Amino acid sequence: MRASGPRRCSATGTGLRTTPASTAALVALLEPLVATLLATLFLGDRLSSAGLIGAGLITTAIVLNTRGHR
C-alpha cells in the first residue's frame, strides 16, 4: 500500500532531515533514470548518445557516493 497525503510528506521530511544532501540529491535523480530505463525496456524508446552519457554519469555518481559512505 502506498502512503499518500500527510503520511507521505511526513516520511519524506523525516528522510530528508536524516539523509546527507548529496545522497538525497542522487536519490532524487533515480526517478527519471528508472523511468527512462523502463520506457526503453518496455516501450521501445531509444536513448540518444547524450541520454546514454547522462544515465552513465548518474549511475557512476550513485555508485561512487554509495562507496564513500561505507
Q: 4-52 pLDDT, tens per residue?
A: 555 555 666 776 678 788 777 877 888 888 898 899 999 988 989 999 9
Is 60 domain-assigned? yes
> What is the chain's percent helix, strand, coil content, to nearest 5?
80, 0, 20
The answer to whether 30 and 23 have CB atoms below 8 angstroms apart is no
Is 2 domain-assigned? no
What is the C-alpha separation between 14 and 29, in angstroms, rounded? Answer: 19
Is 33 domain-assigned? yes
Tell me if residue 4 falls in helix, strand or coil: coil
Is 43 domain-assigned? yes
Is 3 domain-assigned? no
Q: What's the confidence (pLDDT) of residue 3? A: 53
Is 12 domain-assigned? no
**What's the total number of domains in the chain?**
1
Is 32 domain-assigned? yes
Q: In which domain, by residue range, is 49 found?
A: 20-68
**How much is the pTM?**
0.61
